[in-house]
Amino acid sequence: MFKKPSVRDKENQRDQKGTINANVGEGAAVSVQLPAKNPLVEGKAGYGIFVKKVTPLTTTAKSTVPSKSTKIRDSVQNKKEHKEPANTKTQFKEISSNATEKKEKTLNTDGDAKKAAIKIEKKEKKLWTLSNFDIGRPLGRGKFGNVYLAREKESKFVVALKVLFKQQINECKVEHQVRREIEIQSHLRHPNILRLYGYFHDEVRIYLILEYAPNGTLFKALQEQPLKRFEECQSAIYIRSLASALQYLHGRDVIHRDIKPENLLLGHKGDLKIADFGWSVHEPNSLRTTLCGTLDYLPPEMVQGKPHTKNVDLWSLGVLCYELLIGKAPFLSSAYDDTYKRIIKLDYKLADHVSKAAAHFISKLLVVDPEQRLPLDKVMIHPWIIAHTQ
C-alpha cells in the first residue's frame, strides 16, 4: 500500500520528512566498474562501515571530531584527472587548536587546484583519517548527519566532508542505501555530477569526501529570485546541463530516482551538479519496484506501484523544468491525496508568462506512458533548449 508522506508546506519548503522511504530492502546495485571486493563493507570483522554496537552520539559540531579515528583505504582507484575551475578563491574558515578561537583564511585555488585534486584522488596507498583535514563551518544538515567545509592539510584542497552517523543509519535500516550511494557516486566522472573523491570511517561515523559546490543548492537559488522563479534562458541552461548528466548516468545503467532542486548544487560559476545519490540504483536489465523520492516529483508509474525504468528521471526533468519556470512543482497540493490524484490525472496548468516552446517541452516530458516521454537525445535538440543555450 502506498505510504502517506508529508508534502511541502505553503512556503514550498522541503526537508527530509518530505521523502518517501518505502521498500528499502531492495538489493544493492553494483556497477560493473566496481572492484571485486569493496574494502568499505567487506573488510575483516569489526572493520566494516556498519557495526552492531556503537558508542553513544551527540549531534553537536564538536562531536564530529573523534579522539581516535579508524583508518581504512581510500575508495578511489585509477582516477582520471579532476578539472577544477581556475582563477577562483574560496573563503575558508579554519577551526584553530583553541576551541574558542577561529581564524579566517583564504585558500587560493588558482593553478594548484587541479594538482591538489589529483593528489587527493590518488591517495589509494595512504590511509585516510579525520586528522588529514582541517574542519570548517557547517554547510548543511541531513537526516543521518551533517556536511562541513573542510581542507585537506597536505594539498590545501577544499572539499565538503559529509559526516554520517552509523547509529542513525542502522536504526533506519538503510545501510545498503549508503553503501550503494558510495559505490555508484565514486565511479562517476561528469562536469555536472558532484565528485566523490573518497571515504573513510571510525567507530561512530562515516565520512564522504565530496567536491565543494560553493553556491549551494538550486532550491536556495530559486527561492532567492525576486519572483521565486528563473527566466527561461537560465532555466534552459540548467535543464540542458541536467539532461547531459542524465545521459551519462543512463548510459552507465544508473537511475538517479530523486531529481529535485534540493539535490542539485551550483559550482563556483553557477554550473549545475547532481548530488545525493542515496536513491540511485545501477540496474541494466530488470525493472524496479521500490517507491522512493519526493511525492510531488514522483511519476504516475511509481505512485501506482508499477515497475519503473530510467524513464522516471525524464518525468522528474519535466517537473523540475516546470518548477524553475513557475516557482512550484506542477502537482503540489495542500493535501497528499490531492497531489496523488493530480499526478495520475496529469492535472497541471501553466502560467501565461511561459512561452509556447517551453510549454511544448514540458508536455513532452510529463507523459503518463513512460515509453512516450521525450528521450534525452531529443531533449538536447529541442527548439526551446537550442534557442536559449546556443
The model's pLDDT over 336-369, given as tens digits with 9 standing for 90+, comes to 889 999 999 999 999 999 999 999 999 999 999 9
Q: How far apart are the first and last CA of the chain?
A: 46
Whether 165 and 205 have beta carbons less than 8 Å apart is answered as yes
Confidence of residue 143 (pLDDT cuts 50, 70, 90): confident
Domain count, the chain: 2
Question: Is 289's pLDDT higher than 70?
Answer: no
Within a domain: residue 12? Answer: no
Question: Is 61's pLDDT higher than 70?
Answer: no
- The separation between CA 308 and the C-alpha centre of its own chain, rounded to angstroms, equals 20
Within a domain: residue 85? Answer: no
Read off φ and ψ for residue 103, nearest 5 degrees.
-120, 140
CB atoms within 10 A of CB 344: 13
Within a domain: residue 202? Answer: yes
Q: Does residue 295 sit in the same domain as residue 163?
A: no
Q: Does residue 197 sit in the same domain as residue 230?
A: no
Q: Does residue 184 sit in the same domain as residue 298?
A: no
Within a domain: residue 84? Answer: no
- Find, among 99, 17, 5, the residue nearest to 295 by Cα: 5
Confidence of residue 376 (pLDDT cuts 50, 70, 90): very high
Within a domain: residue 41? Answer: no
Q: Does residue 149 sit in the same domain as residue 233?
A: no
260 or 126: which carries more pLDDT confidence? 260
* pLDDT mean across residues, the chain: 75
Q: Does residue 226 sit in the same domain as residue 361?
A: yes
- Find, among 202, 130, 123, 192, the residue nearest to 165 by Cα: 202
Give residue 169's pLDDT: 94
Pick the last residue of a domain from 185, 211, 237.
Answer: 211
CATH code of 143's domain: 3.30.200.20
- Find, among 109, 111, 67, 116, the residue nearest to 92 by Cα: 109
User: Which triple of cell numbers denotes residue 262?
Assistant: 534540493
To the question of whether residue 183 is assigned a binding role by annotation, the answer is: no
To the question of whether residue 212 is assigned a binding role by annotation, the answer is: yes
125 or 34: which carries more pLDDT confidence? 125
Mean pLDDT of 296-318: 92
State which residues form the domain around 298: 216-387
Cα 324 to Cα 346: distance, rounded to the nearest angstrom: 18
Which among 74, 258, 296, 313 is annotated as catalytic? 258
Which H/E stretch holds residue 118?
Answer: helix 113-121
User: Which triple of cell numbers denotes residue 137?
Assistant: 563551518
Cα 288 to Cα 322: distance, rounded to the nearest angstrom: 26
CB atoms within 10 A of CB 144: 22
To the question of whether residue 213 is assigned a binding role by annotation, the answer is: yes
To the question of whether residue 44 is assigned a binding role by annotation, the answer is: no
Q: Does residue 258 sit in the same domain as residue 222?
A: yes
To the question of whether residue 11 is assigned a binding role by annotation, the answer is: no
Residue 258 a catalytic site member = yes
User: Which triple of cell numbers denotes residue 104?
Assistant: 579566517
85 or 186: which carries more pLDDT confidence? 186
Q: Does residue 268 sit in the same domain as residue 382?
A: yes
Q: What would the DSSP string read from start to end of 146-187?
A: EEEEEEETTT--EEEEEEEEHHHHHHTT-HHHHHHHHHHHTT
Q: Does residue 228 sit in the same domain as residue 207?
A: no
Tell me the one-letter amino acid at 270. Answer: G
Within a domain: residue 19? Answer: no
Q: Does residue 235 sit in the same domain as residue 376?
A: yes
Within a domain: residue 101? Answer: no
Pick the last residue of a domain from 168, 191, 211.
Answer: 211
Within a domain: residue 265? Answer: yes
Say whether 207 sits in a helix, a strand or coil. Answer: strand
pTM of the model: 0.71
Q: Does residue 197 sit in the same domain as residue 253?
A: no
Q: Does residue 185 sit in the same domain as residue 299?
A: no
To the question of whether residue 162 is assigned a binding role by annotation, the answer is: yes
Pick the last residue of a domain from 157, 191, 211.
Answer: 211
Give residue 126's pLDDT: 63
Give residue 118's pLDDT: 56
Q: Does residue 196 sit in the same domain as residue 322?
A: no
